[in-house]
Amino acid sequence: MTSMGALDVILALAKVFIMILPGYIIMKLGIINTNHTQGVSNIITYVTYPCLVIAAMQMEFSMEKLANCGYVVLIFIGVVIIAMIISKILTSIIKMPVSQSGIMAFMMVFGNTGFLGLPVLDGLFGKEGVFYGAICDSSFDVLMFTIGVTLIRQAAKGEEKMGFKETISGLINPCFIGVLIGLLFYVCRITLPPIIGGPVDMIGSATSPLAMMVVGAHLARISFKDMFTNKPAYLVCLLKLLVAPAIALILVKLIIGGGTLFGTVIIMEAAMPCAMLSVILSERYHADVEFATKGVMLTTILCLITIPIVAITLQHILTI
């Protein structure tokens, strides 16, 4: 992978995050409301995101890339397991209420690898970065809708198990299906004809601006005073934005060494802020929505600082 200077990394990320501003402004001005953002989120989930992934996987087949996907899944699962253990230990030590400990574990483990992660990877590394990022995100989907939902339900009602049908319905989502279709085309060496591949690529390219504007709109709804004075939210930030990528870095170094794009992608995806689904699932299962919202939004704001730090640090550690 070509080396990127510190300024290149910052500029690439700045281009992505500047797209937050339109969403923030039009929400503040009352031009759009939560119904509109929900509609845009649905467009991203059901249309643009799957197209982005399918288009990114329209590349020449390579057994090496396919083998790398196995490493991506293995290491990413390791990050999730270790992060969950650390979170559980910390919440026990500080005696965090049960109503928040499960949400804390969820937020540390599961990041915004799709709506935010893929646009960032696209800006930094192009389609190959999106290719590996999509594998990370699909791994998250499987774990999020099984272990993740269990954590939220435990925080809400003390429930330990989730029904089989509910688990399957969570896994069978358009984003995950988009990854499966993209991988199928990749493995079977199916190249979309230009009349189809062109529109798919164009639609997929809308994911980044739409997703970032939705993030901006969500930020506009939060009281910054309440968010920045919430001490537990800072613990969430420390764990998600710094500890999680550090765990990923250690595993990458131990298992595959350094200097690979897919290793860098794993660490960058681990450095993403808390998943927006933390809020959605907390609301669905009547858990502490306010705590989840503050954690998600604070990590989203602070990642503007931490992601460039992680990206630049990786150049020295992994010889990007």
pLDDT band for position 2 (cuts 50, 70, 90): very low
Residue 273, pLDDT > 80, answer yes
pLDDT, tens digit (0-9, with 9 covering 90-100), for 250-260? 999 898 877 78
User: Which DSSP helix (H) or strand (E) runs through 296?
Assistant: helix 289-317
Query: 10 Å Cβ neighbour count for 317?
Result: 13
Residue 320, pLDDT > 50, answer no
Average pLDDT on 303-310 reads 86
Report the distance separating Cα 111 and Cα 201, nearest Å: 25
Q: Domain map of the chain by residue range? A: 61-192+224-309
Q: Using alpha carbons, select from 259, 209, 266, 315 the residue that is nearest to residue 78.
A: 266
pLDDT, tens digit (0-9, with 9 covering 90-100), for 232-245? 788 888 889 999 99
17-26, 99-108, 125-134, 284-293: least confident range: 284-293
pLDDT, tens digit (0-9, with 9 covering 90-100), for 161-184? 555 565 566 566 777 788 889 889
Which pair of structure tokens corresponds to residue 262? 């897919």
Report the distance separating Cα 63 and Cα 65, nearest Å: 5
How many angstroms from the chain centroid is the CA of residue 73?
Answer: 14
CB 124 within 8 A of CB 265: no
Give the pLDDT of residue 157. Answer: 63
Report the distance separating Cα 166 and Cα 79, nearest Å: 25
Residue 4, pLDDT > 70, answer no
pLDDT, tens digit (0-9, with 9 covering 90-100), for 68-111? 888 888 888 888 889 888 888 888 888 877 778 888 888 888 88
Give the pLDDT of residue 196. Answer: 94
